[in-house]
Amino acid sequence: MGKAHVLIEKDENGYSAVITNFKSTIWGAGKTVKEAKEDLMNSIDEARQMYAEDGTRSPDDLENLDFEYKYDVSALFNAFSFLNVSRFAERVGISPSLMRHYKAGDTYISAAQAKKIEAGLHQIARELEAVSLL
């Protein structure tokens, strides 16, 4: 199974999704993260079709893909819009106002702040994984 490392970032037109570990560039774009991911899947399908039309076998990294996503903060909160940005900020110890700027993509985010946000997300994931419903 091929592993596709996908970087999803906010850009001037919306969002982009780029596979960073393939020899050739495959990317998608859209006004939302969902649209960018869909466009990326379309690009992968088009690449596979191109190989089929040429009568050649597509590279192994285009087959049976397993995706690993890396988001910038704006893309993260666009992809998971059910997360309340202000409450999440309070939980991880970041100013809600600053977090809203990170979400908008109009403020630089340091590596330390990004790690703090990532650690908070992972903690929430662990807590949710431990939940059982009656």
**Structural domain boundaries in the chain:** 1-72, 83-134
pLDDT of residue 55: 86
Statement: 1-72 belongs to CATH 2.40.10: no
What is this structure's pTM? Answer: 0.86
pLDDT of residue 12: 92
pLDDT greater than 70 at residue 6: yes
Instruction: Measure the CA–CA gap between 33 and 132, rounded to whole angstroms.
Output: 30
